[in-house]
Amino acid sequence: MIVTVTLNAALDITYRTPALVPHTTHRVSDVAERPGGKGLNVARVLSALGHETVVTGFAGGRTGDVLRELLGNSGPGGSRGRPVDALVPISGSTRRTLAVVDEASGDTTQLNEPGPTVSPSEWSAFLGAYERLFTGADAVALCGSLPPGIHVGAYAELIRRARAAGVPVLLDTSGEPLRRGVAARPDLVKPNTDELARLTGSREPLRAAHDARRRGAHAVIASLGPDGILAVTPDGVWQATPPAPVKGNPTGAGDSAVAGLLSGLVERLPWPARLARAVALATATVLAPAAGEFDAEAYEELLPRVAVTEQPGP
């Protein structure tokens, strides 16, 4: 079982319009709603890959009700394509995110609402639920931003609790929560190049990734956008690159990469195979019509074509 944590969950709404022109009225050609937030995206992809997955975090208000209805609760054990709902209820309302896809250019404009304020008692309730999920957990993913009311060291606290229980933990966040989380020694972190530069002060991805490892991360997987990912691990350094640039909606691509890394971890795949899976899933997500989904046929076609090359050390 893989547990994903989304403290700032969202209802993702995707609009598609023939062309997005500022200061004009648009007709929307298609609308899609999905449970969102980084960890929920990760869980959905993991479940589609056949892994038993449990999602936790917070959900509240009418938007939270819609999110949970869309997510569904498959009951104990989960099922292919549907994670188990272990979200903790709160009094505030879950946020919404809006992605507007310009079909003419393929570009996407993203609008993200702030999250609800989480009270101390709600945080305590979450901690209890989180620790109960360690039983039977093969890995934990801590994903996304922190909602108001949650202290900036929250991910560091969650990492320490997972490590104490002997559960491998992946961290995917940014800013001060990333800096403090890295110091808590997660098994894996997945920043993009901007997040890595803010963490280390270096704009050179390889140097920055080595620096992040020295700060406490066991392995660092740096997202390079259309150039794939760079992995600095105890076993070596690799770069995985997609076969060709693609156009589409990038929302959730990084989350699909996280799902690839986590599934490879629990399946004990060698690093090159994990990285190829992560890049193929991320690219297939860009090609999918809705945020947070991936094109399964594109994934199968892309996977053997991802180039994974070993890189020199520091």
Catalytic residue list: 255
SS3 string, the chain, reads: CEEEEECCCEEEEEEEECCCCCCCCCCCCEEEEEEECHHHHHHHHHHHCCCCEEEEEEEEHHHHHHHHHHHCCCCCCCECCECEECCEEECCCCEEEEEEEECCCCCEEEEECCCCCCCHHHHHHHHHHHHHCCCCCCEEEEECCCCCCCCCCHHHHHHHHHHHCCCCEEEECCHHHHHHHHHCCCCEECCEHHHHHHHHCCCCHHHHHHHHHHCCCCCEEEECHHHCEEEEECCEEEEEECCCCCCCCCCCHHHHHHHHHHHHHHCCCCHHHHHHHHHHHHHHHHCCCCCCCCCHHHHHHHHHHCEEEECCCC
